Amino acid sequence: MSQIALDLQDVTSGYQASVVLRKLSMSVAEGEAVALLGKNGMGKTTLLKTVMGYLPKKTGAIKLRGQDITRLSPHRIAREGVAYAPQEHALFQDLSIRDNLRLGLVKVSVFDERFAEIEAIFPVFKRRLKQFAGTLSGGEQKMLLVARALMMRPSIILLDEITEGLQPSVIDRLAEALLGERSRRGTTLLLIEQNVPFALKVADRYALLKQGEIIDHGNAKDGGAAASIFEHLRL
């Protein structure tokens, strides 16, 4: 039986007096990819920010490989091997590509070794390490967010609508990168997506979130998964 990598137990969270997640429970097994889908405003981003410690938990507990991380700070959670690629462009626009990538490392000495893998996945960054991140296109900035997460060689990656606004060719490249990372290192993925085909391509399972609660879940490789998801999203 697979070990549980990430476990949320009756988690209630939100913003000040506003409750968004309501006693939500879910788990992701080691090496598994789970896609969390739903309309805007249903609590998907809140869930990732709660896992990362950016939002306080009102009730419940979050465990990482059996260790309680409910009250750990974001930087402590990152040190435990959790990488986060947020929806908003959380890049340092006035720093170079190299400097943004270095932020994902504990030891700068491993940069060249790690970047050799990154440039194989995203060759667009080859010979452009001195370029300022703020001068990149929207698609390139999304790729840089994923590249920075991969530089950590994390055990878990949290991805928040990483395909939003991207061209199909860039989306395909991101899917290949994530599938390759899982194949090489058994990395666990929890991704929030509006792009259903991308989500089902990358994920093993899906869950649907509505008003802070999971209302449905299933096998992402099931032939009827897409139809079921689109039906719920129309409601």
- Looking at residue 68, its pLDDT comes to 96
165 burial (CB, 10 Å; 0-12 / 13-18 / 19+) is exposed
What's the domain count of the chain? 1
Half-sphere exposure of 160 (CA within 13 A, CB side): 19
What confidence tens digit (pLDDT) does each residue in 129-156 have?
999 999 998 888 988 999 999 999 999 9
Sheet holding 18-29, edge to edge: 18-29, 4-15, 57-64, 67-68
What confidence tens digit (pLDDT) does each residue in 20-43 have?
999 999 999 999 999 999 988 889
Alpha-carbon distance of 166 to 172, in angstroms, equals 10
Please say if the pLDDT value at position 56 is more than 90: no
- Looking at residue 223, its pLDDT comes to 87
pLDDT band, very low/low/confident/very high, at 165 (cuts 50, 70, 90)? confident
- Looking at residue 90, its pLDDT comes to 78
Q: What is the DSSP string of the chain?
A: -PPEEEEEEEEEEEETTEEEEEEEEEEEETT-EEEEE--TTSSHHHHHHHHTTSS-EEEEEEEETTEE-TT--HHHHHHTTEEEE-SS--S-TTSBHHHHHHTT-S-GGGHHHHHHHHHHH-GGGTT-TTSBGGGS-HHHHHHHHHHHHHHT--SEEEEESTTTT--HHHHHHHHHHHHHHHHHH--EEEEEES-HHHHHHH-SEEEEEETTEEEEEEETTSTTHHHHHHHHHH-
Prediction pTM value? 0.92
Structural domain boundaries enclosing 169: 4-234
Domain CATH for 128: 3.40.50.300
Contacts of 189 (CB under 8 A, 6+ apart): 28, 32, 33, 34, 156, 157, 159, 178, 182, 202, 203
Alpha-carbon distance of 227 to 156, in angstroms, equals 28
